[in-house]
Structure 1
């Protein structure tokens, strides 16, 4: 199997995922997964597609990720891994789609408007 390259995005985070057959090593920006994402929740999010399809330990995943925060990066990686697994075997699509792992989350930060403190918060109204 050749290297499969897919991109995942979430908010302003962009993850480039390179998937190839191996022994289950996951590297994020040259560091191990547990070293880059220190919380268990984020590690679970990254490994979720591999766990659902039962391919944990079968593929080496090399990830380059930039932009956004750690949660957005983890979810961008999750989407990228899901897309890569679907290219490896189309049967995985039936397992990943009901879990919502193939859908790009469209929610973005709303822009700040002029004349307001934040996107929706107004300055305090004064009658007198």
Structure 2
């Protein structure tokens, strides 16, 4: 073992930070799981023409609202990779907004597995962080999670 007399020596003994390696399966796809609220998305990214399929449907048919379509495109646009990857996703649980967030999270993670150089761009945009906000549970004696029943003086 090397002589470690200070913390600087410890850093040099460990070597440089671990480089993120490329994770691709036999078909040339990278896989990632994305989560948001109660929605879970399984996402595969492979080189292609920019086609996005979610649960067997075109993404514009599955997510009809333009805001949800924009959420899906954010990591691809931030990485400047529009039209370069085909994305296939299956998503279940939660509502449409949570599902769109889950697919966005999965796309971001899968892109970093396919092309590790994109990690810094996507991390800076906040796409790799799982949004952990979930609905608060209803408490006993309350109308909702925090809302009290209406007070009646008489």
1:59 aligns with 2:85: yes
Write out per-residue CA displacement over residues 72-107 of structure 1, whole angstroms, 9 at most, x where no aligned residue.
Answer: 111110000000011111110111111111100111
CA distance in 2, matches of 1:90, 1:5: 13
Greater Rg by CA: 2
Deviation at 1:59, TM superposition (A): 0.8
Q: SS in structure 2 opposite 1:97? A: helix
- State how 1:47-126 maps to structure 2 within 5 Å: 47-126=73-152
Structure 1: state its 5+ residue gaps.
none
- 2:37 corresponds in structure 1 to 11
Q: SS in structure 1 opposite 2:102? A: helix
1:33 to 51, 59, 66: 59
CA distance in 2, matches of 1:127, 1:48: 52
Cα RMSD of the aligned pairs, angstroms, is 1.2
Q: SS in structure 2 opposite 1:114? A: coil
CA distance in 2, matches of 1:42, 1:91: 26
Aligned length: 128
Q: SS in structure 2 opposite 1:115? A: coil
